Amino acid sequence: MATLGNPTNTIAILQKYNFNFQKKFGQNFLIDANILENIISAADIKKEDCVLEIGPGIGTMTQYLCENAREVVAVEIDKKLIPILQEDTLSSYNNVTIINEDILKVDINAIVQEKNAGKPIKVVANLPYYITTPIIMGLFESHVPLESITIMVQKEVAQRMQVGPGTKDYGALSLAVQYYAEPKMMMSVPAGCFMPRPNVDSAVIKLTRHGQPPVLVKDEKLMFDIIRAAFNQRRKTLVNSLNNAAGLNINKDSVLAALDAMGLPATIRGEALTLAQFAQLADFVEQ
C-alpha cells in the first residue's frame, strides 16, 4: 500500500492504474502532507468518530482519516477510482467502507444509523466548485445527524459562506450556511498543493452545526424560497424580486406591508437584509 500525500507516490499510483483525470468530476488530488494533517486537526477527528468522506479520489485524505477515526465511509462517484481504493491505497484498512455512488443519491441517514447508531457524524470533503452548494444544502436540508462539515472549496466560495449583509459575496449560500451552522475559515490552500494544479486557490472551511437555528421561523422552506428569489435578481428591489419570482405567489402589497411593519424602506434590496430579517419577513408573508 502506497502512502499518499506526496507527489512521487501519487504519480506512481496514477501511472500504475493508467488513470486519467476527469474534468467533469473536478478532480484535484492533494500532494501536501502538512495540509492533510492540518485538515484532520481542523476537523477535530478523534478515535471514536465516524466520518463520511465525500470524493475520496485515490484515497489521499482517506488514509489520514482511517488512521485517526473509528469508522470511515468514503463515497466516490468515479467508478475508475474504485479499484485503486479497494486493491491498493485503502486495502490495509479494515475501518473503511467504499461506496461507488453519487453523494446526492445516497441515503446518508441510513449510513448514520448503520455505522454510528444514529449519532452525529463528521463530514470531510474536497469538493469541486460546481457541486459545492447542492452537496452542502443536501446535507443540511435532509437533517442528517451532523456534528460538522469540514470542506476544501474554492477560496471565494469559503469567503461567501461567512460574510454578512451589504457585501458583494453575501447571498443565498451565506444565509443558508449561517442558518444551519457556524462557519469558520480554517486555512488557505495554494493551488500548488494539488495535482493537477487548479487555476484558483482553495480554502478549508469548517461548518459546525448549530444545536438550534439562530433564528426562529414558522416556515423554513418559505424563508429559503424568499431568500433565493431575493438574490436571483439582486440588483432589483426586494419588492420587485419577490413579485417577479415564479412559483412564489407573493403580491407586492403584502411585501410592502411587511417591510413597513419591520421599519424597512420600500426600496430596500435583498442583500441588505439579515437572516433574522428574512425570517421575520417570511413570518409576515405567511400570515
Name all domains of the chain by residue range, CATH numbers in brackets. Answer: 7-209 (3.40.50.150), 220-286 (1.10.8.100)
Query: What's the average model confidence in pLDDT over 76-93?
Result: 94
Q: How confident is the model at residue 281 (pLDDT cuts 50, 70, 90)?
A: very high
What local confidence, expressed as pLDDT, does residue 2 receive? 67
Query: What's the average model confidence in pLDDT over 61-79?
Result: 96
And the C-alpha cell for 226? 424568499
Q: Which range (21-35, 92-106, 144-158, 258-272) has the least confidence?
A: 21-35
Q: Examine the pLDDT at 24 and tell me if it is beyond 70.
A: no
- List C-alpha distances in Å: 258 to 255, 280, 282: 5, 9, 9
H/E element holding 98? strand 96-100
Q: Examine the pLDDT at 1 and tell me if it is beyond 80.
A: no
Query: What's the average model confidence in pLDDT over 38-45?
Result: 96
Mean pLDDT of the chain: 91
- List C-alpha distances in Å: 232 to 100, 186, 235: 34, 29, 9
Task: Give residue-wise pLDDT tens across range 166-210.
Answer: 888 999 999 999 999 999 999 999 999 888 888 889 999 999 999
Q: Examine the pLDDT at 250 and tell me if it is beyond 80.
A: yes
Q: Where are the beta strands (DSSP E) in 101-244?
A: 121-126, 146-154, 181-189, 194-195, 202-209
What local confidence, expressed as pLDDT, does residue 20 receive? 76
Q: How confident is the model at residue 64 (pLDDT cuts 50, 70, 90)?
A: very high
Q: Examine the pLDDT at 66 and tell me if it is beyond 70.
A: yes
Task: Give residue-wise pLDDT tens across range 217-231.
Answer: 999 999 999 999 999
DSSP assignment letter at 49? -
Q: Examine the pLDDT at 25 and tell me if it is beyond 80.
A: no
Q: Examine the pLDDT at 29 and tell me if it is beyond 90.
A: no
Q: Examine the pLDDT at 151 and tell me if it is beyond 90.
A: yes
pTM of the predicted protein model: 0.90
Asked if 76 and 59 touch (Cβ cutoff 8 Å), the reply is no
Please report, as a single letter, which amino acid is at residue 53.
Answer: E
> Could you please report the per-residue DSSP string of 228-248?
HHHHHTTTS-HHHHHHH-TTT
